[in-house]
Amino acid sequence: MIKETELIKVKIGNQKVGTLILSNNNLCLFEYDREFVSAGFSISPFYLPLKSGVFTAKRDPFNGLFGIFNDSLPDGWGSLLINRYLKSKNINPADLSVLHRLSLVGNSGMGALEFEPNTTLKTAQEITDLNQIANEIEIIFKEEKESSCLEQLVQQAGSSGGARPKVFVNVNNESWIVKFRSSTDPMNMGEIEYHYSLVAKKCKIEMPETTLFENKYYGVKRFDRFAAKKILTHSASGLLYASHRFPSLDYTELIKATLALTKNMEEALKVFRLMVFNVLTGNKDDHAKNFSFLYRKGNWEFAPAYDLVPSNGFNGNHSTTISGSGNPTKEQIFNVAQNCGLPQKNVNIIFEEVFIASKEIHKVKL
């Protein structure tokens, strides 16, 4: 199943973006395709500007891979499934290079990037019974026996990240992500996240459509798909080379990066609004991979919010700090806005709107 992969072609649809290879010291080298340089755009403006020549990735924090391509790799739950599957085929996951893993992603990853050769796992009909999926997930967590649906779960998990189990499903010809509770989550985890999404919308935070399947499984419509078209997606982690495994980012940096990338104050104010929501509602798992950007119609924009749930973060602190603090005061919240040059009038309105609407968070039992 796994063949030696020495070269990866990066594509968006039928258009070749460039080529990836590994150097002798296991650092990735990337070069844009000549035609893409002439008519394309930078897929990662801060580290891969659109120009001819070979780029060399840094060793950290993505193990010698560029941030934009690391965004395509599964993490957490998705990585666990892939590794379980490889072991079931007597393949040591540690033997796979990052190029192998991109080949396994193929055309099934988040966002618009696709990779050739494509060795994505293709199995029989996907599982549509959410209760069956939940049962199989429990089997995988318990490790008492092998799941009989491991291949289907690998396929439906795609390149998903995060610790909580999730699958991609089609509902009325639209692509959704359905999330399931982990072994440490409360029984009503789906209800909690759904409630958070509704309150976030009342706080005027842009979010995709959400629902509660069968009154217990949280579902969110994919924002990297629109009318069957794939949308290039770039996490703040990959964009800024900020690890999501430990605190490596401050909201001041995130807002300034948003301004530099989007050239749009409204997009920066979206980040400020989300920061206020996260602080006031206790979502401390606000690490660098839980913020993303989309490239649409020739412009970058801040992606709709996701993964909004109560959490302890890093040792009880916000994973993304607020003016240097993991547990900020109101003054530190406003310091972020001042240091980023956000309009004071807008900042005051946003804080008041979120402060009032977010009080509804406490109506759900945790």
Domain boundaries, the chain: 7-116, 130-225, 230-359
- Which residues contact residue 119 at a Cβ distance below 8 angstroms, ignoring those fewer than 6 apart? 1, 2, 3, 103, 104, 106
22 DSSP β-pair partners: 28
Neighbours of 165 (CB within 10 A): 27
Query: Which residue type is seen at 169?
Result: V
Q: Tally the residues of the chain.
A: 366
pTM recorded for the entire structure: 0.94
Cite the DSSP H helix spans in 223-329: 236-240, 251-262, 265-281
Mean pLDDT, all residues of the chain: 92
With 50 as the cut, is the pLDDT of residue 316 above it?
A: yes
Sign of CA dihedral 314, 316, 319, 322: negative
- Rounded Cα distance between 244 and 15, Å, is 31
Could you read off the pLDDT of 137-172 as tens digits, one per residue? Answer: 888 888 766 777 888 888 888 767 777 899 999 888
Give the CATH fold of the 130-225 domain: Phosphorylase Kinase; domain 1 (3.30.200)
pLDDT at 281 over 50: yes
Reported as a pLDDT band with limits 50, 70 and 90, residue 1 is very low
Percent share of the chain, pLDDT over 70: 96
Q: Is the model's pLDDT at 3 over the cut of 60?
A: no
Predicted confidence (pLDDT) at residue 291 exceeds the cutoff of 70: yes
CB 322 within 8 A of CB 251: yes
Which tokens sit at 287?
A: 């690490």
Helix (H) or strand (E) holding 153: helix 150-157
Lowest-confidence range among 47-51, 249-253, 312-316?
Answer: 312-316
* Average pLDDT for 292-309: 96
CA distance 211 to 191: 9
